[in-house]
Amino acid sequence: MRPSLAQIERVARTLVQRLVAAQMLELDAPEEGIQARFAQLLTRNFEQEAEIEREATTEAARLVRQGAPGIRRDELDLRRVEQLVKQRIAKARGFVL
């Protein structure tokens, strides 16, 4: 399940605050702007993952319908096929799951 916008903003705020407190991040811009950018990046990441999942679900269903040589359709595990297709799509796009 995808997190809500409020949850993403809370994670971004906490991340920036902890990075600043640990002196791992030195701010050259207002903290709110950096938090907003982190939230934007997290949101885009979740959107990309959702898109990959949609594609994987569609392709896995197609593959299961077609079947595989030497394997009966009822022996194919749709969830496992979806997972493998999702990994393949993510790897092709350079997306880390």
Provide the 3-class DSSP secondary structure of residue 2: coil
Please state, in angstroms and as integers, the Cα–Cα distance from residue 90 to each residue in 6, 11, 56, 87, following that order. Answer: 27, 24, 10, 5
DSSP state of 23: T
For 1-14, how does the pLDDT look when each residue is reduced to its tens digit (9 = 90+)?
Answer: 789 999 999 999 99
The token pair that represents 66 in the structure block: 């077609």
Tell me which residue range forms the domain holding 22: 5-93
Q: What is the pLDDT averaged over residues 40-61?
A: 94
Q: Is pLDDT larger for residue 21 or for residue 70?
A: 21
* Count of domains for the chain: 1
pLDDT class of 71 with cuts at 50, 70, 90: low
pTM here? Answer: 0.78
For 76-91, how does the pLDDT look when each residue is reduced to its tens digit (9 = 90+)?
Answer: 778 888 999 999 999 9
